[in-house]
Amino acid sequence: MAMDGLGKSLRGVLDKINGSASVDENLIKDVSKELQRALLQADVNVQLVLQLTNRVQERALNEKPAAGKTMKQHVTKVIYEELVALLKNGEPLALKPQTIMLVGLYGQGKTTTAGKLANYFIKKGFTVGLIGADVYRPAAYDQLKQLGEKVGADVYGEPGEKNAVKITKHGLEKLKDRQVRIIDTSGRHALEADLIKELEDIADVSRPEECILVLDSQVGQQAGPQADAFNKAVGVTGVILTKMDGTAKGGGALSAVATTDARIVFIGTGEHIRDLEPFDADRFISRLLGMGDLAGLVELAKTEVGQSDDMEQLAKNIMSGRFTLTDMYQQMKAVSKMGTLKKLVGMLPGMSNMEDKIDFDASQARLAKYRVIMDSMTVQEKDEPNLIKGSRIDRIAGGAGVAPKEVRDLLKQYNQSRKMMGTVSKDRKMRKKMMKQLGGMNPDDFKDEGDDGTAS
């Protein structure tokens, strides 16, 4: 986290814009200088940095802000878009038979990612073989074997064998009719000559379609040189950024992408097999810059709900820490009007990681039922859900024509939502950002209950 300098300095750039009295040519020049400094420090290639900041300057000065947007918002948007463009650097991983080689330093997440990737391809209907060519870490084969068993991939390895090239050759032969073959390789603390040689030789015998650098998102500035070294050795075609569930924002990825010209294909968001998400440049930059897509959320509310009052109220309540069943009901109403929960969840700050973990169809069906149940509640019950106990549960269930358990499920869901909203509302910085993004909202509109921890 401490090393995540790029995200921090980029956030500083945006703060400078927001804190300025007015946006003029001087400010834009200043800002683009700071942007340059931030990107150069993160080892983004000089040429790329200059291109980017030139475009930012030109667009910031010459393009008209969109209707209703201030100059500050305009400049912020231009920077945001140019950073996204820097990362939008190629296609996702192709869904076709292929050999994939994973490389990376110690503990970056290669072996775990091999299992996740295997799972990904198996879920897409491919047969997958895993090859354990890590001859360095003790028990590397066992780790891979366990992962393979979990996801249903065949695993080839030769515990005790020290020649990684030999294992690879044998493995490819043994697993030649698996559609996707994934090779896990050794790591080191630093990219040493013997490892480079080994990786080159493995690449020579396996001729992988993809050579993917597995990079811990905490790596920070070292990501550039690291990626460069691997790229020179074996030609990196893609990057998978792991441990994005932690506090690191993954600023180093920008350098890795910029130095190798490879694209990011996935991010790892946890230790479990399923914690692998396709990379989304927009969301990544939002996160790096410390903003959830609240602006997008309000936009969506305006266009799809037809009026934004409900959503503004909802946003206020989320931030105030006051979150009653009525609020949840309002939220559900707005959300179901907006069509898909998925879109919404992806836009809430701090919740983008949840997207693939939620069964959205089931949620949508549950929403409909919850609505019926809530229609049987009194106004007071919806405001103070804690009142709902014992005979009240039976009465509500009877009125809604559901089992009492379903009423209790609703209350459980409410309590979970409230907790989740509570976390958002306790983060002062986040609240400030949200207010800014919502534009024109008065900070005094927000109750401060959430801050001292006493609320909800």
Ligand X SMILES: Nc1nc2c(ncn2[C@@H]2O[C@H](COP(=O)(O)OP(=O)(O)OP(=O)(O)O)[C@@H](O)[C@H]2O)c(=O)[nH]1
263-268, strands of its sheet edge to edge: 154-156, 128-133, 180-185, 98-103, 210-216, 238-242, 263-268, 276-278
**Token pair 């693939």 in the structure block, residue:** 356
69: enclosing H helix or E strand: none
156 with 173: CB under 8 angstroms? no
Q: Which range of residues in 94-102, 104-112, 121-129, 387-395 is near Mg ion by CB under 5 A?
A: 104-112
Q: Which residue is nearest to Mg ion (CB)?
A: 111
How many residues make contact with Mg ion (CB under 5 A)?
2
What residues between 159 and 198 interact with ligand X by CB under 6 A?
Answer: 187
Alpha helices in 109-207 (DSSP H): 110-123, 140-151, 164-174, 193-206
Site membership for Mg ion, residue 111 (CB under 5 A): yes
Alpha helices in 321-442 (DSSP H): 325-337, 341-347, 360-375, 379-383, 390-400, 404-426, 428-438
Q: Which is nearer to ligand X, 216 or 381 (CB)?
A: 216
Q: Which is nearer to ligand X, 144 or 172 (CB)?
A: 144
- Contact pattern for ligand X over residues 43 through 62, marking x by CB under 6 A: --------------------
Per-residue burial over 165-201, b if 16 or more Cβ lie within 10 Å, else e, is: bebbbbbbeebeebbbbbbbbbbeeebeeebbebbeb
Among 275, 277, 327, 406, binds ligand X (CB under 6 A): 275
CB of 269 to ligand X, least distance (A): 6
Among 109, 157, 238, 385, binds ligand X (CB under 6 A): 109
What residues between 119 and 148 interact with ligand X by CB under 6 A?
Answer: 134, 137, 140
Q: Which range of residues in 107-115, 228-236, 351-359, 423-431 is near Mg ion by CB under 5 A?
A: 107-115
Q: Which range of residues in 105-113, 170-178, 233-241, 349-357 is near Mg ion by CB under 5 A?
A: 105-113
Q: Which is nearer to Mg ion, 109 or 422 (CB)?
A: 109
Q: What is the C-alpha to C-alpha distance for residues 410 and 118, in angstroms, rounded to an integer?
A: 36
Site membership for ligand X, residue 269 (CB under 6 A): yes
Q: What is the CA radius of gyration of the chain?
A: 25
- CA dist list (Å): 90 to 110, 123, 257: 22, 23, 11
Q: Which residue is nearest to ligand X (CB)?
A: 187
Binding-site ranges for Mg ion (CB under 5 A)? 110-111
The residues binding ligand X (CB under 6 A) are 104, 106-112, 134, 137, 140, 187, 214, 242-243, 245, 268-271, 275
